[in-house]
A and B are shown apart, each in its own frame.
Chain A
Amino acid sequence: MINTVNILRLIAVIVFIVCAPFIGGILDGFDRKISARMQRRIGPKVTQPFYDVLKLFNKEFVSVNKSQLFLLLSYLFFVIFAGALFFGGYDLLMVFLCTSTASIFLILAASSTHTAYTGVGTLRELVQMMCCEPMELLVAIGFYLSTSANKDFVTPTFKVIDLVRSDMPAIIYLPGFFIGFIFILTIKFRKSPFDISTSHHAHQEVVKGVTAEFSGAAYGIVEVAEWYEQVMLLGVVGLFFITSNPLSYIVAALAIILVYFLEIIIDNTSARVKWDLMFKLSWGIIFICGGTNLLVLEIIRNINI
C-alpha cells in the first residue's frame, strides 16, 4: 500500500543511510574540537574525521584472516539496518536486537586474529555489552509501557512511528530510563570513564583493544559504522522528547546537542575506570533509575486500568 506516510518513511530511511555518516563525522569533529578547547589546545578542523577515514580507505588492507573483512561488513550492515529500522519507524525492540547482533559481528571480527591485545579487548567488549544491553532492552520496554500508561494509545506499542504521534513527550513517563540511557551512551560512545575495550586514542593498556588488529579500510569501516550507530543512538535520545507537535523536534534537537555536550564533559573530567567498577556502576544505575521508573509506570498503568 502506497500512501504519503509510507513514502515519508522511505525518505527518512534513505536520508539516514546517506546523511548519517556526515552527521556522525561532523559530530565527531566537533567532539574533537570541543575536547581540545577544554584541554586548552587548538584542536583539528571540524572536518578532520572525514580526512582521517578517507586516508584509511586509501591504505592497503592487511589482515591475517580473510574472514575479518566479511565479518566487519556484516557489522556495518547490521548497524545500518538497525538505524534504518529506527528511522523508518519500525519496532524499537527490533532495533536494539539488531545493534546487539552488530556488536557480535564486531567481536567475531576482532577475535578472528587471535592476538593478545584483541583477546583482552574482546573480553572487555563482552563485559561492555553486558553493561549496555539490559538498559537498551529496558528503554524499549519503557517506551512500550509509557504508551500503555498514556490514555491516547488504544493499544500499547513498540513501533517508533506510533511513539512519535503521542501528545505527551515520553520523557514525562521515563525520566529514570532517560538517565540510565545517557549513562550507557558513555559506554556506547567509548568515552573516557568507560573506554576500556577500545578508545579514541591508543594511550591505554590494550592499545586499541578490539580495533587493534584492523588496518586500513577495515578500520575505516569500523569508524563509519560507529558514526551510524552514534546517529541512531542520538535519535533514541530525541525520541524521548518527540510528540505530534512539530515544535517538539526542535526541543529534541536541543536535547541531543545537550546530551552530546554532556558526554564530552564527562569524557574530559574523568579517568578510565576498571571493568569491574564499570559493571557495578552501570548495573547500579540501571537498577536504581530504570527499576524505580518501571515500578512507578506499573502503578500509573494500574490506576488507568
Chain B
Amino acid sequence: MSEIIKPKRTIIPFGPQHPVLPEPIHIDLVMEDETVVDAIPSVGFIHRGLEKLVEKKDYNEMVYVAERICGICSFMHGMGYCEAVEHIMDVEIPDRAKYLRTIWCEFSRLHSHLLWLGLLADGFGFEALFNECWRIREKVLDMVELTTGGRLISSVNKVGGLIKDVTPEMLKAMKETVIQVEKELKPVANTFLNDYSVKSRLCGSGILTKEEAIALGACGPMMRASGIEVDLRKTGYAAYDNIDFDIITSNDCDGYARCAVRIGELFQSVEIVRQAIDKIPDSEEVSVKLKGNPKGEFLMRLEQPRGEAFYYVEANGTKFIDRFRVRTPTFANLAPLIHTLKGAPFADVPLLVLTIDPCISCTER
C-alpha cells in the first residue's frame, strides 16, 4: 500500500452549552476517532465591555464595576483596581486594611478552589465528592457574608482602604471557620489524591512541561504544576510580605499535579488566614482620605485563585480614567489549553478544560 490510511476526521462542537461546562466557551474539536488532533477555542458569547465603562464612571465608582467582572474572583478584581489606583496616587493604606484584604483574598481563594474541586469531581462523574466540596464551600461563603455583607460580591474595597472594619468576634469566627474547613477538607483531599478511579483519570493527562508552560504563557496553578516557582503573593502586595508561606509546586506537569497544587493551596490559605488573624494590628481607621485625582499609569499584578491577573490603569488627572484593562488568568491559559488538548482522548477534554480553571465571565469583561 502506497499511503497510510488515516482515520476520517470529524469536528465535534464542544460548548457553549455543554453540561460539563459551567460557563459558555466554545471549542471546535477536530477528532480522529476518539483522539483530539486540533482544538480551536472561541469565547465571546457574553462580552460586556466593562473596561469601557471606566470612561463614564468616576474612578471611585469604578471599584464596583471592577468587582462585578466576575462573581467568583470579585473581591480580588476590586482590590486589584484599588491597588493600581493607590499606586498611581501614592497612597499608603492602613495596616489593618492590608491585613483584612489579605484575609478576604484567602477566603476568596478558598471558595474558588473548592468550587473548582467540585466541578472537577462532577467532570469525572463523582457526584458524592462534588456535593462534599460545595458543602464545605458554603461555610466559607457564609463567613464572607457575615463579615462583608455579601456572599460573593462583597463591595468592601474602595480606593484608599476599606469601607468597613470587622469586629473582634468576627475575626474569631473566621478563625474557627477556617479550622473547621481544614478538618472537613482532609478526607476530601485524600479522596482526590489517592482514590484509584480518580487517579486513573487525572494522572498523565494533559502534560504541559516547564518549557512549554513558559513559551505558552501559562499562569497560576497551571504554571506551578509544571514546576515553575512563581507566586505573586511573594511580591508582597497587601500584607503578604509579613506572612510566612511556601510556594506550592509540583513537577508532574499533568492534571493530577494541577489538582494537587490547588489542594495544597487550600491548606495554605487556611494557614495564611490564621497567621493574618494572629498578626492583625488594632487601629481605628481602615481607610485614608484621598487628595486630588490620579495621574499616571500602573500595571498591578495579583495572584488570583486562578492565576496571575493584570490591572492596567492609565489616568489623566481628571476623575475619569483613560484606560482600565484587566487581563484575567483564563485568558492567558487559553494557549496552554489548546496545547494540552492536542492528542488528548475525547474523555479527557472536559477535565483538561477544567484544569485551567476557566472563568469565562472574567475573560469577557
Q: A268 an interface residue at 8 Å Cβ cutoff?
A: yes
Q: For chain B residues 39-55, which have a beta carbon within 8 Å of chain A?
A: none
The secondary-structure label for the interface of chain A is loop
Q: B309 an interface residue at 8 Å Cβ cutoff?
A: no
Give A272 to B200 CA distance when docked, in angstroms.
9
State which of B60-68, B117-125, B244-252 sits at the interface with chain A: B117-125
Is B200's CB under 8 angstroms from A268's CB? Answer: no
Q: Which chain B residue shows the least CB distance to A115? A: B12
Give A283 to B13 CA distance when docked, in angstroms.
33
Is B20's CB under 8 angstroms from A204's CB? Answer: yes
Q: B10 an interface residue at 8 Å Cβ cutoff?
A: yes
Q: Mark B9-24, 1 if CB is under 8 A from A, else 0.
A: 0111100001110000
What is the CB-to-nearest-CB distance from A37 to chain B, in angstroms, rounded to a whole number? 11
Q: For chain A residues 263-303, which have a beta carbon within 8 Å of chain B?
A: 268-275, 277
Name which of A116, A193, A202, A268 has the most chain B CB atoms within 10 A of its CB.
A116
Q: A304 an interface residue at 8 Å Cβ cutoff?
A: no
Place the interface of chain B in its size category. 20 to 34
Q: Mark B114-145, 1 if CB is under 8 A from A, else 0.
A: 00000001111111110110010000000000
Set B33, B125, B129, B196: member contacting A203, Cβ < 8 A: B125
Set A119, A120, A273: member contacting B200, Cβ < 8 A: A273
Q: Which chain B residue shows the least CB distance to A281? A: B200
The secondary-structure label for the interface of chain B is helix
What is the CB-to-nearest-CB distance from B35 to chain A, in angstroms, rounded to a whole number? 11
Is B127's CB under 8 angstroms from A120's CB? Answer: no
Name which of B33, B121, B123, B132 has the most chain A CB atoms within 10 A of its CB.
B123
- How many chain A residues touch B (CB < 8 A): the figure is 31
Q: Which chain A residue shows the least CB distance to B122? A: A203
Is A271's CB under 8 angstroms from B198's CB? Answer: yes
Is B349's CB under 8 angstroms from A270's CB? Answer: no
Name which of B129, B198, B347 has the most chain A CB atoms within 10 A of its CB.
B347
Residues of B within 8 A of A205 (CB): 20, 346-347, 349-350
Q: For chain B residues 76-126, which have a beta carbon within 8 Å of chain A?
A: 121-126
Q: A123 an interface residue at 8 Å Cβ cutoff?
A: yes
What is the CB-to-nearest-CB distance from A268 to chain B, in angstroms, rounded to a whole number? 5
Give A202 to B127 CA distance when docked, in angstroms.
12
What is the CB-to-nearest-CB distance from A196 to chain B, in angstroms, rounded to a whole number? 7
Is B200's CB under 8 angstroms from A123's CB? Answer: no
Q: A199 an interface residue at 8 Å Cβ cutoff?
A: yes
Is B127's CB under 8 angstroms from A272's CB? Answer: no
Residues of A within 8 A of B18 (CB): 207
If A271-B201, A273-B200, A274-B347 touch, does A38 touch B128 (CB 8 Å cutoff)?
Answer: yes
Set B20, B135, B195, B346: member contacting A270, Cβ < 8 A: B195
If A195-B125, A271-B198 touch, does A116 touch B19 (CB 8 Å cutoff)?
Answer: no
Other than A116-B10, A120-B346, A274-B200, give 13 A-B pairs with Cβ distance below 8 A.
Answer: A40-B135, A116-B12, A119-B10, A192-B125, A193-B197, A201-B19, A203-B19, A203-B123, A204-B125, A205-B346, A270-B196, A271-B195, A273-B200
Question: What are 7 inter-chain pairs, A to B, with CB distance below 8 A?
Answer: A119-B10, A120-B34, A195-B125, A205-B20, A205-B350, A270-B126, A275-B347
